Amino acid sequence: MFKTIANLKIGEKAFIEKLCLDNIPLKLLEMGCLPGIEVQLIQKAPMQDPLYIKVNGSHLAIRIETAEKITLVK
């Protein structure tokens, strides 16, 4: 089982291993979400989706479907 951003607990940090490039919007990379970069889950929206993350100095909200495609280093 791969660990993805969607599996993070609130406040937990981890390094991005790989982004499933075919399904990830280029925009997300451009916002700083890159392999080898540390990501932190800051908060989940009330219905567990979208996720509020901090990555590369940016604070972003992404939907779970996107978060599931970003695997993390265990």
Partner 1 sequence: MSNDNVVKVALIGNPNTGKTSLFNQLTGLKQKVGNYPGITVEKKQGFCKLSETVKAEVTDLPGTYSINPTSMDETLVLETLLNEKSEAFPDVIVVVVDIENIKRNLLLFTQLKDLKIPTILVINMIDQMKRKGINIDIEKLEKSLKTKIVLASARKKIGVDLLKEAILDYKSVDTTPVGKISEKIDKEYFANLKNAFKEFPLYKSWLLITQQNEFDFLSDEQKKLVLKFRENLECIKRYQHKETIFRYQIINEVLNESFHIDASKATDLRGILDRVLTHKIFGYLIFAAILLFIFQGIFDWATYPMDIIDNAFASLSSFVKTVMPPGSFTNLIAEGIIPGIGGVIIFIPQIAILFTFISILEETGYMSRVVFLMDKIMRKFGMSGKSVIPLISGTACAIPAIMASRNISSWKERLITILVVPFTTCSARLPVYAILIALIIPDKRIFGFLNLQGLTMMAMYLLGFTAAITSSILLHHLLKIKSKSLFVIEMPNYKIPSLKNIIYEVVEKTKAFVFGAGKIILALSVVLWFLASNGPSSFKNAEETVTEMPENKNINSAELQKKIASYKLENSYIGYMGKTIEPVIKPMGYDWKIGIALISSFAAREVFVGALATIYNVDSDDENTGTIKERMAAEINPDTGKKRFDFPTGISLLLFYAFAMQCIGTLAIVKRETNSWVWPLLQLVGMGILAYVSAVIAFNIFS
Instruction: Work out how close the CB of 25 gets to partner 1 at its nearest, in angstroms, rounded to a whole number.
Output: 4
**What is the rounded distance in angstroms from the CA atom of residue 54 to the CA atom of residue 61?**
9
Q: What is the dihedral of CA 16, 47, 52, 14, to 10 degrees?
A: -30
Residue 65 binds to partner 1 (criterion: CB under 8 A): yes
Tell which positions 12-31 bind partner 1, by CB under 8 A: 21-22, 25-31
Q: Which residues bind partner 1 (CB under 8 A)?
A: 21-22, 25-32, 34-35, 42-43, 45-50, 52, 56-63, 65-66
